Chain A
Amino acid sequence: MSTTKTDTEVHSFLKSLYKGEFAESLVFPFPEVPEDVKETVTVFADAYRDFDAQFIDSEKIDRDHFFPREAIQGLGDLGALGMTIPEEYGGSGFSAAAYCKMVEVIGPLDSSAAIVIGSHQSIGLKPLLLFGTDEQKRKWLPDLASGKRLAAFCLTEPEAGSDAASLKTTAVYDPATDEYVLNGTKQWISNGGFAKFLTVFARIPSEAAEKDKHREIACFAVVPDESGELPGLTRGPEEKKLGLCGSSTCQIILENCRVPAFNMIGGKGQGFRVAVETLNTGRTSLGAGSVGGCKQMIKLATEHATQRKQFKTRIADFELIREKIAEMTANTYVLESMVYLTAGLIDKGVPDYSLEGACCKVYGTELLWKTINEALQIAGGNGFMNEYPYGRALRDSRVNMIFEGTNEILRLYLALTGMKEAGDVLKGVEKAVYSPLTQYGVLIGHAQKWMQGNVPAFDKKLQKVHPALAPEADQVSHYASIFRNAVETIVFRNGKKVIERQYLHHRIADTLIDLYAQVATLSRVTAAIEKKGEEKAKPEIEIARWFCFQARHRMVASLKALDKNRDAEATAISNAVYEAGGYPFDLWGW
């Protein structure tokens, strides 16, 4: 038992936290990006900005609902489509930190371009990158790196959204030609209109896998010819969308579409894993895009607030405006810390950063939405006018909370993964519960520890935080311990039913996000103090204090509500609504 535990401890910071450990060596010191990488990215970011200024007219793209094809070729020539592909396959082999920084730049310049680039390399070609054989990589990656072929990730179906494992597209093997024959419809596929490399997830019906439907799924590279044609492959009409209007989103319809067996990526029965891992690795970059968007909004809000006068005063000087600016800025700092800490974990080779990536995605996409909303509010009536960028920013950012795993699904994932970890620790105890006579000792021991409030001994403290932030470090240690015990209690109380307790999952996930956010911030500010001294790092210390204070209130509220809540009422209210088919309480009885 101890060996597997040690592995997990080293493999994931948040999973280890659920197990009652701070794997502090993973998150301290805050990752430094080598100077030469910074230099490369700085030069490339400048080149990208110039390119954007000359070739990408975001207003026109939004108006015309069309992203110019020459611009896609331009992105390829520039190298923006091969950032994450290793050099040996024709790309540039960017580290996660370097890629995140570029996404930060690209997102706010034009979000449709960000989707073209992101769907291509964050998800579309990722299965090949993660699971392809060397032969497959040699065959396709160079064209993907140059932009000759754009990739799309085809998982969602009309009947299979969040529950992707229920997908219906089939792949039937034809031994005569050593091909698979694909049938099915994929829904809302980004880059779908022009992708020439589609990673399609389909089910190979088999009796053996009857019990475990996940095990039927496989991933296939569907590769049309240079003009984008392939017998059996049809692209649906472009969807009319709320935002990201220039990005292509359409159905991919497969009717007896034949794909060589060679094109299977990751092997039989591995498709679901391929999809999940692809999405897990891609999520951090959505957080990075949010960092970029938030910074842009802070700039706009600052410009407006310091220039606009009402009541003979800069509105910037009113405390209600200060509050917004401080909140936007501190939270953005926190998000930036989370994203680059996670990128650092990836670059260090830490194999499991799925929880950390999910934290970045959920926190980041929701922060961006709030930040745009606040910046718009500071702009007043102008914020509502289409000649200002707020409206488009709101529309474009909305989908971030829906795709690559809805934020609800990710919260469940954050909470349930933790419960599984807690459950594993509890297994010994659980056994004892069911056979109390033989395992009596274990049970008593556990109960005793529990009474002492340190089950099973989470008395670890964050050791590496700078003393200037000692109260904050103690707070994180303290709540991490309470949190961990609370999770265990819930698992203990609910048993298998815990899977259905989503009210609780919500609170657990939010607390986990707050814990990671605080650890990331403390790590970064500690590095800042060590580098430039306490005096110069003062603004950052203030951010850490401000944020940890806010986080504490949220954590306390969430943790308390795990025990005392009105969840039963929430169930009752929603039941009443479902029965009535809508709002049942109209004041006049209408």
Chain B
Amino acid sequence: MNHVVCIAYVPDTETKVKIGGDGKSIDETDVKWIVSPYDEYALEEALKTREAKGGTVTVLTFGPARADVGLRECLARGADEAVRIASDGLGETDSLGVAQLLAAALKGMKADAIWMGSKGVGTDAGVMVSMVAELLDLPNVNLVTKVEWKDGAVTLWREVEGGREVVESPLPCVIGAHKGLNEPRYASLKGIMAAKKKVIAVKKPADLGVDPAGITGEKAAVRWTKLELPPARQACKLIPADDPQKAAEELLRLLRDEAKVL
């Protein structure tokens, strides 16, 4: 069985996000980048399946050259091959644009299972699984927390509101991995050293038959127009409680006149 795992290389969840000069992008100077944690579940499950049943695991991403570091990390954990669709100099695109690029690359890859995280921690849009599946005309199952393989099919447990749903899907299909699916492994030093020697295949959108002009700029259906940081939290206001009567009156006054919630 051959697996392709789509990964996103995103700002570390602990990064203090700063907004760039143009007011609609992130200032990337001090950002630490990581493989999106949900994608790690996807990769781990693909690796485990390969170890049990044979086959290959390929990781695929769309991103600039720095994303190679993320791909190498996946290679270090045990992926066999890595492909990057180069975003360098491409201009801003949206989820659908990315999905088109991934789908175009996946078409040539003969995957039995296509894996992704249920969402990327970058934008948290959570639409990639269904978009890619739709573009490839494949079934998709998202929020998966358990997997059982059958001949030519797979049984998947998915988290739904207040319970779990068990579904069966033919292969190939697109699977969105969710927290709880497994405990991702660490890259061993051996793996890291071996990964260094592997070549990452870099493809331009045009190599995949996608016209960049069709998915960027005005053609992107969703565009970032403005980014704002949440307002800084204000200091707590403490009301002296020596006299409960007065304190209650003061609280009431503040809620009505200052916070204007009453």
Q: Which residues of A are interface residues toward B (Cβ below 8 A)?
A: 36, 39-40, 43-44, 46-47, 50-51, 77-80, 82-83, 87, 92
13 extra A-B contacts, CB within 8 A, seeds A40-B196, A43-B73:
A39-B69, A39-B196, A40-B193, A44-B187, A44-B192, A47-B188, A47-B192, A78-B188, A78-B189, A79-B190, A82-B189, A87-B193, A92-B190
> Could you tell me which residues of chain B, from 177 to 207, have a CB within 8 Å of some CB in chain A?
186-193, 196
A–B complex contacts, Cβ < 8 Å, 14 sampled:
A36-B196, A39-B69, A43-B187, A44-B189, A47-B76, A47-B186, A47-B187, A78-B189, A79-B188, A79-B189, A79-B190, A79-B192, A80-B189, A92-B193
Q: Is the interface of B mostly helix, strand, loop or mixed?
A: helix
| A40 and B186 contact, CB distance less than 8 A | no
| B188 and A77 contact, CB distance less than 8 A | yes
The residues of B that contact A83 with a CB separation of less than 8 Å are 189
- Complex: how many Å from CA A569 to CA B191? 62
B72 within 8 A of partner (CB): yes
A-B contact count (CB 8 A): 43
Q: Determine how close the nearest CB of chain B comes to the CB of A109; give it in whole angstroms.
A: 14
- Complex: how many Å from CA A143 to CA B228? 55
Closest A residue to B77 by CB, please name it: A47
- Complex: how many Å from CA A82 to CA B188? 11
A92 contacts which of B69, B73, B187, B189 (Cβ < 8 Å)? B189
The residues of A that contact B72 with a CB separation of less than 8 Å are 39, 43
Q: Determine how close the nearest CB of chain B comes to the CB of A287; give it in whole angstroms.
A: 22
- Complex: how many Å from CA A83 to CA B192? 12
- Complex: how many Å from CA A51 to CA B185? 9
The residues of A that contact B187 with a CB separation of less than 8 Å are 43-44, 46-47
- Complex: how many Å from CA A46 to CA B69? 12
| B188 and A43 contact, CB distance less than 8 A | no
| B186 and A43 contact, CB distance less than 8 A | no
> Could you tell me which residues of chain B, from 141 to 187, have a CB within 8 Å of some CB in chain A?
186-187
Closest A residue to B69 by CB, please name it: A39
The residues of A that contact B189 with a CB separation of less than 8 Å are 44, 47, 78-80, 82-83, 92
Closest B residue to A80 by CB, please name it: B189
- Complex: how many Å from CA A80 to CA B187? 11
| B193 and A43 contact, CB distance less than 8 A | no
A78 contacts which of B69, B73, B186, B196 (Cβ < 8 Å)? B186
The residues of A that contact B196 with a CB separation of less than 8 Å are 36, 39-40
| B192 and A51 contact, CB distance less than 8 A | no
* B27-63 near A? 1/0 per residue, CB < 8 Å: 0000000000000000000000000000000000000
Q: Determine how close the nearest CB of chain B comes to the CB of A357; give it in whole angstroms.
A: 24
The residues of B that contact A78 with a CB separation of less than 8 Å are 186, 188-189
| A40 and B188 contact, CB distance less than 8 A | no
* B68-80 near A? 1/0 per residue, CB < 8 Å: 0100110010000
The residues of A that contact B193 with a CB separation of less than 8 Å are 40, 87, 92
Q: Determine how close the nearest CB of chain B comes to the CB of A567; give it in whole angstroms.
A: 51
Closest A residue to B76 by CB, please name it: A43
The residues of A that contact B69 with a CB separation of less than 8 Å are 39, 43
- Complex: how many Å from CA A79 to CA B77? 12
Q: Determine how close the nearest CB of chain B comes to the CB of A104; give it in whole angstroms.
A: 16
Q: Determine how close the nearest CB of chain B comes to the CB of A514; give it in whole angstroms.
A: 34
- Complex: how many Å from CA A79 to CA B187? 9
Q: Determine how close the nearest CB of chain A comes to the CB of B100; give it in whole angstroms.
A: 31
- Nearest 3 CB-CB pairs, A to B? A79-B189, A47-B186, A47-B187
- Complex: how many Å from CA A46 to CA B188? 11
Known A43-B69, A43-B192, A92-B193; contact A51-B186, beta-carbon cutoff 8 A: yes
- Complex: how many Å from CA A74 to CA B187? 12
Closest B residue to A78 by CB, please name it: B188
> Could you tell me which residues of chain B, from 182 to 240, have a CB within 8 Å of some CB in chain A?
186-193, 196
Closest B residue to A102 by CB, please name it: B189
The interface centre, meaning the residue of B187, B189, B193 with most chain A CB atoms within 10 A of its CB, is B189
Q: Determine how close the nearest CB of chain A comes to the CB of B260; give it in whole angstroms.
A: 31
- Complex: how many Å from CA A36 to CA B193? 10
The residues of A that contact B76 with a CB separation of less than 8 Å are 43, 47
The residues of A that contact B188 with a CB separation of less than 8 Å are 47, 77-79
The residues of B that contact A92 with a CB separation of less than 8 Å are 189-190, 192-193
- Complex: how many Å from CA A444 to CA B75? 71
Closest A residue to B34 by CB, please name it: A46
Q: Determine how close the nearest CB of chain A comes to the CB of B173; give it in whole angstroms.
A: 30
- Complex: how many Å from CA A354 to CA B48? 48
- Complex: how many Å from CA A43 to CA B193? 10
The residues of B that contact A87 with a CB separation of less than 8 Å are 193
The interface centre, meaning the residue of B72, B73, B76, B188 with most chain A CB atoms within 10 A of its CB, is B188
Closest A residue to B184 by CB, please name it: A50
- Complex: how many Å from CA A283 to CA B36? 39
The interface centre, meaning the residue of A36, A39, A50 with most chain B CB atoms within 10 A of its CB, is A39
The interface centre, meaning the residue of A39, A47, A77 with most chain B CB atoms within 10 A of its CB, is A47
The residues of B that contact A43 with a CB separation of less than 8 Å are 69, 72-73, 76, 187, 192
Closest A residue to B191 by CB, please name it: A79
Closest A residue to B183 by CB, please name it: A54
| B190 and A50 contact, CB distance less than 8 A | no
- Complex: how many Å from CA A77 to CA B186? 10
